Amino acid sequence: MKRQGESSAAHLLAQTRVQRVPTDKLELFQLRGFIAPELCAALIALIETDRRPSTIADDIGDRYFRTSETCDLAPDQPAVRALEQRLLALSGIDPAYGEPVQGQRYDVGQEFKPHCDWFNPDGQDYDKYCAVAGQRTWTFMVYLNDVDAGGATRFKTIGKSFAPETGKLVCWNNRRPDLSPNPNTLHHGMKVRKGRKYVITKWYRERPHI
């Protein structure tokens, strides 16, 4: 049985066409055609209206760490509601455990350097970001378009890259089976070489947000 606020490998693999990447280093899945091209286009339009330069919690002094543009997408927009419904059906995670959906746009040369999505438990800002809702648990990412060249997401420790593709979802558990943060989730949103890349990211937490 899946706990409230959780997804699980068994739950995800029970859904049609979900594929698990064969590795025991992390729980990592993909689902091609997760959302329709029309919904992707509507989400891209929202990102275009709201985008601003990305910020991250701890950029280890490198302002080129995440060079894309980011926005939180308004939860009352019909396209965002439709996406949230699809995410709930797939993950089984109560939306109360989710952060707002983030949209990102990468132009040529922009990237998100190798990082893990979980917060460093020894970091200065851990309490600031995690006091209420706790650590990040699952990441769900959807590519909204095909990119002419570059822009893949690379998981270096397992030598696996995902190429952007309209409507394709990639998701992973940020923790090990003992629930400690999993360093094997290290991933790199690689530079776009030609064209433009749009993605949405949805992060879940240990506890509901208030």
Residues that bind ligand AKG (CB under 6 A): 112, 117, 153, 187, 189, 199, 201
Decide whether 70 or 145 has the Cβ nearer to Fe ion.
70
Q: Which residue, 5 or 187, is less far from Fe ion as judged by CB?
A: 187
Q: Which residue has the tokens 């070489």?
A: 193
Smallest distance from Fe ion to CB 116, Å: 7
**In angstroms, what is the minimal distance from the CB of 199 to ligand AKG?**
5
Look-up: residue for tokens 């894309």? 68
Nearest to Fe ion of 69, 117 (CB atom): 117
Write each residue from 34 to 73 as x if it is in contact with Fe ion (CB under 5 A), else as -, in one continuous string.
----------------------------------------
Among 192, 203, 204, 193, residue whose Cα is nearest residue 105: 192
Name the strands in the sheet holding 136-143, side by side, starting at the edge strand that comes first in the sequence. 19-20, 28-31, 169-173, 136-143, 197-205, 102-106, 69-72, 52-53
Give the one entry of ligand AKG, Fe ion, none that residue 69 binds, where binding means its C-beta sits below a cut-off of 5 to 8 angstroms depending on kind: none
Nearest to 29 by CA among 181, 105, 140: 140
Applying CB under 5 A, the span of 31-39, 51-59, 117-125, 166-174 interacting with Fe ion comes to 117-125
**27 vs 117, beta carbon nearer Fe ion:** 117
Longest dimension (CA), the chain: 45
Tell me the residue nearest to ligand AKG as measured from the CB. Answer: 189
3-state secondary structure 68-128: CEEEECCCCCHHHHHHHHHHHHHHCCCHHHECCCEEEEECECCCEEEECCCCCCCCCCHHH
Nearest-angstrom CA–CA distance, 145 and 22: 26
Q: Which is nearer to Fe ion, 65 or 126 (CB)?
A: 65
Whole-number minimum distance, CB 174 to ligand AKG, in Å? 10
From CA 146, how far away is CA 168, in angstroms rounded?
Answer: 10
Answer yes or no whether residue 117 interacts with Fe ion by CB under 5 A.
yes
Q: Which residues bind Fe ion (CB under 5 A)?
A: 117
